[in-house]
Amino acid sequence: MKLVFANDSFKGSLTSKETALLLDKAAQFVFKDVETVKLPLSDGGAGLLDAVISASGGRVETVAVHDPLMGLIEAPYVVIKDKLAVIDMTAVCGIELLDDSIGDEKLASSYGMGELIRSAIDCGCEYIVAGTGEVATNDGGMGALRALGAKFLDEKGRELEGRSEDVDRLAEIDLSEIDNRITDISFTLMCDIPNPIEGMQRYTDILYKVTGHRSDNVIGTGAAGGFGAAAYAVLGAELRSGIDTMLGMVKFDSILEGSDLLITGTSIADEIAANSGVMQGVAKRAKAKGIPVIALVESLGEGWEEVLGCGVSKLVCISGEGKMTDNPEGAAELYYEAAVRMFENYREGNL
């Protein structure tokens, strides 16, 4: 029997890799003789780089860049086969990097994201895949473009720093000195934001005037505080579903071949999880191949019934024994015990 484990991370308790290892341990205990495939995944948010390395290998490059408040930090990205760079935007723009003592996102800039892109180009990468996740920036990607050589000017011709507060001050964009190597890069942005950029009409109008690309009517351009608009209009990025991009990189369909069961899961099974993210992404692909899917989740949220319509055959909830987020230290034990019971029920035909 071949089992595939393809989980999202469980926020506040377990990573995708940790859940895969626990599922493997539980399966080996219950079935004794079983083939397992452990596949940590991410839809572009938390755990993206770890998931990519686990699934595809590659090396980690660490560079000195700027955080959202322009302080110096060290941030990683992954290079695969010297040609593909995978960047996690939260490494330089994540909400957790915002200084709580200031608490003003208007000062935040995506400058560090542009520095990571430039570093990947310097490394000789020809393809860049970037995940967005939860970011602190809301500058429409101005900071990132500024790091790549773009200039943003106000009505008096003064150069703006490219912070979130500068969006409303913008009068002109000068792309004459932007790094011309970006035209040779194939750029993919992992985003599951179903909306175009909003609330930045002045900015998008000027972007259109300069680039000829209308970004305020394109799904996904609202991702990462509007970085999706800059990526689309200036970097020529393809805006794709995060989980579909990830599954393509790891050749997920090939991994599923010959499988008897897929185990997936996420923190909360709800309407959102049924329509976006790792769990629904892998479940749909397994369903298309006739492979049953069991989702082991921490808790149920509003609209959880919809999960059973996205390819999940059975839904198993852990929270009857207590939430893992309430006891992070005991999360692994709680998850493992739930996995053992799940596999025992499956073996006995009760799932």
Residues 186, 297: Cα–Cα separation, whole Å: 36
| Residue 116 counted as domain residue | yes
Q: Which tokens go with 6? A: 């393809």
pLDDT of residue 96: 87
CATH of the domain at 299: 3.40.50.10350
> Helix, strand or coil for residue 227?
helix
CATH of the domain at 141: 3.90.1510.10
pLDDT of residue 257: 94
| Residue 273 counted as domain residue | yes
Same domain, 94 and 112: yes
| Residue 254 counted as domain residue | no
| Residue 272 counted as domain residue | yes
Residue range(s) defining the domain that contains residue 226:
48-243
Identify the domain boundary among 217, 243, 269.
243
pLDDT of residue 325: 62
Q: Which tokens go with 174? A: 């000068």
What's the total number of domains in the chain? 2
pTM as predicted: 0.89
Per-10-residue mean pLDDT of the chain, 351 residues long, equals 92 87 96 92 85 86 96 96 95 85 77 98 97 92 97 96 93 96 96 85 95 93 95 96 91 94 94 90 95 94 92 88 65 93 94 84
Comparing CA positions, the residue from 16, 3, 7 lying closest to residue 279 is 7
Q: Which tokens go with 163? A: 């912070």
> Tokens 């839809």 correspond to what residue?
43
pLDDT of residue 171: 96
Same domain, 224 and 293: no
- Kindly give, in sequence order, each residue whose CB lies less than 8 Å from that of residue 183, ignoring residues fewer than 6 positions away: 236
Q: Which tokens go with 72? A: 């110096």
Q: Which tokens go with 132? A: 């967005």
pLDDT of residue 44: 87
pLDDT of residue 103: 55
> Tokens 């493992």 correspond to what residue?
336
Same domain, 113 and 147: yes
Same domain, 36 and 62: no
